Amino acid sequence: MANSSGEKGEMIEQPLLDASETQKGGFRTLPFILGNAALMNAATNALTPNLILYLMNEYHMDMTTGSNILYIWSATINIAPVLAAFLADSFVGRFKMIGLGSVVTLVGMFLFWLTSVIPQARPPPCIGSNNICRSAEMFQLFFLCSSLGLVAIGAGAIKSSSLAFGSDQLKREVYQENARAIESYFSWYYAVYALSVLVALTCLVYIQVNLGWALGFGAPVLLMLFSTLLIFLGNPFYVKLKPKSSLITGLIQVIVASYRNRCLRLSSQSEDILYHQTKGSVIVLPSEKLRFLNKACIVQDPQLDLSPDGEATDPWRLCTVDQVEELKALLNVVPIWLTGAIMNINIIQPSFPVLQATTMDRHIGSSFEIPAASFGIFAVIAAIIWIVLYDCLVLPIASKMTGKPAHFSTKERMGFGMFLSFLSVLVMAVVEGVRRSIAIKEGYSDDPQSVIPMSAMWLLPQNCLAGFAEALNAIGQNEFYISEFPRSMSSVASALLGVGMGVASLLASFIMNTINKLTRGGGQESWVSSNINKGHFDYYYLVLAGLSVVNLLCYIACSRAYGPRKGEKREVIEED
């Protein structure tokens, strides 16, 4: 069965270890696991910032087409871990999934690198002063998209199991006495992840801009090669838990069972119905919310539905109360999760910010010039600064002002993050309006690549606001899901944010395509034109700002409808 409670789920992992595995694991395995994840993150994040420039300059794509490829690629990277986690937990195993993902990512990156060194893999350069360009052939597009697809699938496979696999190494009995070991591992994991992003947005982007595409895309291939070697070098030391029934399987079983039992009648008297329960579970009866799912755990005939040991003879027709409540917990947070996904549309804008920075003066001093694709680093730095300030400055000051320990709930932080996200796109619209007017005034309407007399430092406020917004909302979302879900659903809770980012990428692509169709024609340039001086990206971001306001109002309504969180319920009881 896939429906054991959190405590039971923790207990059943230990017997799944082979006798030879009992002396393995521990902190010595973490350099291999963390190194694999960090190098993979640095390699994949190095491809994203300048990819729009590569597609437009080398493949002669327009802004909208190139952005769509980036959106779909981002969605695949963020959604693939869900399917990969299901396969790892149920069939393949976490180590094999990470190893397979590393090899697939390496192959994908190598193939993508070939597009920069083999002239036949991309269209020929534009001809003449009129820039007569030939579009990419079908095979060239297939080769490009296949390589990016392999990178996305492989990276998703690594992300699906890396964090959990490292946690497996610290669950031996000697470490169970010190819960701080697991907590320290999580902190180091995210710290290494942030460091890898910084390296990608600085060093690797600098190589692409100053040394060319061949070296710029070759460096991530080398990093991915080292990443793959690292995970396999640690093979003799790993604890490898055997695959077991997945929680995702249990959730699907509830949906199937409730449909197959859809003809059953639900009585208002709970004592008239026999429900299938997990042994030792504290949940006796299903809740009244989403009552139609309760049909999945109704025992119609104990002799036919239950085996002698009390298990369901057909788990696809009869589930436990725990399974039903786990699915209800997931469905209850969907409205709030969806508002978080819509907010991420503001953050997932990989194309225009790079083109915008390209047209501005990026010099610091007389010699150093910040690469256009590196301006995203200021959002990462802002997020890190906010995390530090929140614990070290904001909460202490709030506590002194109120005279008692201050605490902002996860829902409050998520809402404030959405508000800052709205401010970031609003500022972006204003700055772009000023930049566009200067470009037109200086006579650069037909030359979107010329640098105008406007400092790129004007881009810092919008990047900082975006970083603050992401830190508040993303951390709030993760904490909200983990605290609201049963312990047995911690893997699902940790995956929801990534799935939301993937959904946001698809929604962002839909919005951009819709605006492009509605604003193009009649001799007018589209708002999202490849020539950003003739387009109206300031209007585009005003549309996103309006969407952000509507989304914030929806979040407030959904948050109130959700009611108090588990921790808030306990606080109310204690006060009473």
Alpha-carbon distance 474 to 500, whole Å?
Answer: 10
pTM of the model: 0.81
Least confident residue range of 14-23, 182-191, 202-211: 14-23
Tokens at 34, concatenated? 């963390």
Whether the CB-CB separation of 233 and 32 falls below 8 Å is answered with yes
Q: Average of pLDDT values for 17-46?
A: 83
Confidence at residue 70, expressed as pLDDT on a 0 to 100 scale: 93
Residues of the chain with CATH 1.20.1250.20: 23-124+135-244, 327-575
Alpha-carbon distance 58 to 357, whole Å?
Answer: 19
Confidence at residue 497, expressed as pLDDT on a 0 to 100 scale: 84
Alpha-carbon distance 214 to 437, whole Å?
Answer: 36
Q: How far is CA 106 from the centre of its chain?
A: 21
Paired strand residues for 306: 312
Q: With helix as H, strand as E and coil as C, how does 477-532 read?
A: HHHHHHHHCCHHHHHHHHHHHHHHHHHHHHHHHHHHHHHHHHHCECCECCCCCCCC
323 versus 10: which is more confidently predicted? 323
What is each CA distance from 422 to 19, 102, 453, in whole angstroms? 55, 37, 28
Q: How far is CA 136 from the centre of its chain?
A: 31
Q: Average of pLDDT values for 363-392?
A: 85
| DSSP letters spanning 172-221 | SHHHHT-THHHHHHHHHHHHHHHHHHHHIIIIIHHHHHHH-HHHHHHHHH
Assign 18 to helix, strand or coil. Answer: coil
CATH of 327-575, one of 1.10.10.10, 1.20.140.70, 1.20.1250.20, 1.20.1090.10: 1.20.1250.20
Residue 265 DSSP class: P
pLDDT in tens, 263-302: 988 876 556 788 888 887 777 788 888 889 999 999 988 8
Least confident residue range of 224-233, 240-249, 283-292, 376-385: 240-249
Please state which CATH number belongs to domain 23-124+135-244.
Answer: 1.20.1250.20
Torsion sign across C-alpha atoms 150, 156, 476, 47: negative
Residue 112 DSSP class: H
Query: How much of the chain, in percent, has pLDDT values that exceed 90?
Result: 47
Q: For residue 304, which of 317, 320, 285 has the smallest C-alpha distance? A: 317
Paired strand residues for 368: 364
Torsion sign across C-alpha atoms 115, 357, 538, 463: positive
Q: How far is CA 207 from the centre of its chain?
A: 26
pLDDT in tens, 176-188: 444 556 656 776 7
Confidence at residue 3, expressed as pLDDT on a 0 to 100 scale: 39
Confidence at residue 568, expressed as pLDDT on a 0 to 100 scale: 58
| DSSP letters spanning 399-442 | HHHHTS-----HHHHHHHHHHHHHHHHHHHHHHHHHHHHHHHHT
Predicted confidence band of residue 10 (pLDDT cuts 50, 70, 90): very low
Residue 441, C-beta contacts closer than 8 angstroms, at least 6 positions apart:
none
Confidence at residue 450, expressed as pLDDT on a 0 to 100 scale: 85
Whether the CB-CB separation of 420 and 472 falls below 8 Å is answered with yes
Whether the CB-CB separation of 502 and 79 falls below 8 Å is answered with yes
Per-range mean pLDDT, top range of 9-18, 72-81, 173-182, 559-568: 72-81
First to last CA, the chain: 40
pLDDT in tens, 151-165: 999 999 999 888 888
The pairs formed by 560-563 with CB atoms below 8 angstroms and a separation of 24 or more are: 561/335, 562/332, 562/333, 562/335, 562/336, 562/411
pLDDT in tens, 482-491: 778 776 666 6
Q: Which residue has the tokens 């397979």?
A: 100
Q: For residue 207, which of 198, 197, 218, 192 has the smallest C-alpha distance? A: 218
Burial of 311 (0-12, 13-18, 19+ CB in 10 A): middle
Confidence at residue 270, expressed as pLDDT on a 0 to 100 scale: 57
**254 torsion bin: left (phi>0), alpha (psi -120 to 50), beta (else):** alpha
Q: Is the pLDDT of residue 129 over 90?
A: no
Predicted confidence band of residue 14 (pLDDT cuts 50, 70, 90): very low
Confidence at residue 486, expressed as pLDDT on a 0 to 100 scale: 72
Tokens at 561, concatenated? 């409808």
Average pLDDT, the chain: 85
Confidence at residue 401, expressed as pLDDT on a 0 to 100 scale: 84
Paired strand residues for 275: 298
pLDDT in tens, 289-299: 888 999 999 99
Length of the chain in terms of residues written: 576
- Angle at Cα 476 formed by Cα 551 and Cα 555, nearest 5°? 20
Confidence at residue 182, expressed as pLDDT on a 0 to 100 scale: 64
